Amino acid sequence: MKTKKKKFRIEISGEFFCQGMEMTGKNPGKTLVVTAGVHGREYVGIQTLFTFAEDILCEEINGRLILIPVVNEEGFYQGSRQIVPADGINLNRAFPGDIHGTRTWRLAAALETCLYPKADFLLDLHGGDDNEMAMPFVYFSACAGTGVTEASRRAASSLSVSVRTASSARNGLYSQAAQRGIPSLLLERGGGGLWSAEEIKECKKNIRELMVHLGMIQEDEKGESKTWKNKRNIARKDKETEAGKEQREILHTEYLRFPADGIWYPSVIAGQYLNAGDIIGELYHMDGELIHRYKAKQAGIVLYYTTALGVRAGDSLAAIGKLESHLPLKDREGTP
């Protein structure tokens, strides 16, 4: 096959939505679609895809790699939290889309039309928003067909992140792809409206691990992807977690939300292990009266949490992944 690297635009009926890069490899293989910027302030994934195409040669790819660094361009440029500015809707709740709907619904429809038919696998990069912090972890859809869920789960296991989490969502870019029979993952990393070279390196490593898993690039005998520039930093031990533990699967996650406007003092950090009764944080009225002290109902891990001082009723407070009771206590302590 002739290798090719070309830019493309997603447009329907003259309406522009977003742009990307398509890399066609030398040999046949799978098509992997990697997206970021569904939420415009989740910068780690966005910056990762801005530079990922420079790090890899078409000659090294089997199949095809499709990269879209900023799905929601207006949200990115306007610094909107979670939403598409034109209509205030969260794109990751707008699938399946509607070409006759408002801008977000049309964007969802355009992505479905242009990406799903090509994709053998879809990876969507996220992180905490500017008011949140997330540990590195990966979601797989637990409510797709058995084959799709299992293929997604196996792919999640190939990534060097310490937690994979089952999700019951159906209306996001990756979760709707799973509903349509495309194995897919959502990767979370970072937050706070920040990105760092270290996070970009880790995020790129995860994409390459997925490509190795899908047979799109080669892994040499040392367990290193041959296409990685920075080979000495990617020894096999990186498959383990930061704490040297195996990846663990979380089947149940508690999504906490604030019941009222208030001032928020979190007591946790992303990735922290909690025992039942540990304090997650306290919410106060502006006059100093305590609204609520949040405690962990059971052993868990803080997948992400809100860092903002001022919060509104209905905002996300934290996501706590439930750790199964058979895990020994010592494994639940510390930060992964």
Compute the distance between CA of residue 29 and CA of residue 190 in angstroms, rounded to an integer: 31
Site map (CB under 5 A) of Zn ion, residues 233-262, x = contact: ------------------------------
Q: Does 39 bind Zn ion (CB under 5 A)?
A: yes
Stretch that binds Zn ion, among 39-47, 69-77, 161-169, 291-299 (CB under 5 A): 39-47
The answer to whether the beta carbons of residues 138 and 186 sit under 8 Å apart is yes
Helix 197-213 to helix 43-52 angle, to the nearest 10 degrees?
A: 70
| Pair of tokens at residue 150 | 């299992």
Stretch that binds Zn ion, among 42-50, 144-152, 271-279, 286-294 (CB under 5 A): 42-50
Q: Does 64 bind Zn ion (CB under 5 A)?
A: no
Q: Which is nearer to Zn ion, 29 or 321 (CB)?
A: 321
Q: Which of 186, 181, 229, 182 is nearest to 208 (CA)?
A: 229
Q: Which is nearer to Zn ion, 39 or 153 (CB)?
A: 39
Site map (CB under 5 A) of Zn ion, residues 75-94, x = contact: --------------------
Q: Which of 186, 85, 191 is nearest to 131 (CA)?
A: 191
Q: Which of 203, 217, 330 is nearest to 275 (CA)?
A: 330
Site map (CB under 5 A) of Zn ion, residues 114-143, x = contact: ------------x-----------------
At its nearest, how many Å lie between Zn ion and the CB of residue 42?
A: 5
| Pair of tokens at residue 227 | 């296409």
Q: Which of 74, 94, 96, 97 is nearest to 86 (CA)?
A: 74
CA angle 118, 29, 39 (to 5 degrees): 45
Q: Does 41 bind Zn ion (CB under 5 A)?
A: no
At its nearest, how many Å lie between Zn ion and the CB of residue 63?
A: 27
At its nearest, how many Å lie between Zn ion and the CB of residue 76?
A: 12
Q: Which is nearer to Zn ion, 190 or 266 (CB)?
A: 190
Q: Which is nearer to Zn ion, 189 or 208 (CB)?
A: 189
Q: Which of 276, 316, 334, 317 is nearest to 300 (CA)?
A: 276
Contact residues for Zn ion, defined by CB under 5 A: 39, 42, 126
